[in-house]
Amino acid sequence: MPVAALGDYDQGNIFARILRGEIPSQRVYEDDHAIAFHDINPQAPLHVLVIPRGPYRSWADFSANGSDAEIAGFVRAVGAVARQLGLEEPGYRLLANAGLDAHQEVPHLHVHVFGGRPLGPMLTR
């Protein structure tokens, strides 16, 4: 079910549970500000999710309420993940769904990193 971008942070959401180590994930990266792990239902040969450690629901929430250090750390982490996965040269796509129209399913900010093949047009019709 998609979720709205607004509302209280749900401490029981699946990514909060992954952050707390209550649910396993295939982590590929972690630092003080972010962790990254393989998506459970990959849409490309490489499909990794990067999430901030802080309790932010969406890009709207994070950009309004995250500290400068958290925001800088998260942006750097996304870049580091793409570099670490060897995606800089062939290229990759970043995507962040926010709210109902974008069909955001998990109410903890996440950036999808897609790569590993030519990714085609940006949106399907």
In 1-125, which ranges are continuous DSSP H helix?
14-19, 59-65, 68-84
Q: Contact region for ligand 5GP (CB under 6 A) — 37-45, 60-68, 80-88, 114-122?
A: 37-45
> Could you say whether residue 97 binds ligand 5GP (CB under 6 A)?
yes
What is the spatial distance between Cα 99 and Cα 17, in angstroms, rounded to a whole number? 20
Give 38 or 53: the residue with its C-beta nearer to ligand 5GP.
38
Active-site option among 33, 103, 108, 110:
110
> Could you say whether residue 14 binds ligand 5GP (CB under 6 A)?
yes
Q: Is 7 left (phi over 0), alpha (psi -120 to 50) or beta?
A: left
What is the spatial distance between Cα 55 and Cα 65, in angstroms, rounded to a whole number? 10
Give 23 or 72: the residue with its C-beta nearer to ligand 5GP.
23
Q: Which active-site residues does the annotation give?
A: 110
